[in-house]
Amino acid sequence: MNERCPVCDLKFEREEGYFLGAMYISYGLALIFIIGLAGLLCVLMHWSIQKSVISAVLLFLPAAPLIALFSRVLWVYLDQAMILHHTLELQISPLEL
Ligand SMILES: [Zn+2]
């Protein structure tokens, strides 16, 4: 991952541990992926739940780095949206006074 955005020069990791929130997103996405895939395997292949879950985890492993990277991108977007929202709130509040 680049240190800064090549287009707008945004620094991605603004502080130590900045991407901790991305780990929560990654965890949620991994759970959705594994549960969904295990459900599909269980229904379509008529496998036991145990075999379906183990297979889904093994199939998930190659996708884990991609999901971790995607989670970081989502985290940066979420953070930027919150900053923009907060900035707009600060701009509006003096007019209301
Ligand atoms: Zn940018």
Q: What is the pLDDT of residues 7-43, one digit of tens each?
A: 988 888 888 999 999 999 999 999 999 999 999 999 9
Distance from Cα 6 to the centre of ligand 1, integer Å:
6
Distance from Cα 10 to the centre of ligand 1, integer Å:
6
- Tell me how far apart the alpha carbons of residues 58 and 69 are, in angstroms, rounded to a whole number: 19
Q: Are 11 and 4 in contact (CB under 8 A)?
A: yes
- Tell me how far apart the alpha carbons of residues 1 and 50 are, in angstroms, rounded to a whole number: 36
Q: pLDDT-based confidence at 93, cuts 50/70/90?
A: low
Q: Which residues surround ligand 1, an ion (CB under 5 A)?
A: 5, 7-8, 10
* pLDDT tens, position by position, 62-86: 999 999 999 999 999 999 999 888 8
- Tell me how far apart the alpha carbons of residues 1 and 97 are, in angstroms, rounded to a whole number: 43
Q: Per-residue pLDDT for 89 more than 60?
A: yes
- Tell me how far apart the alpha carbons of residues 17 and 23 are, in angstroms, rounded to a whole number: 10
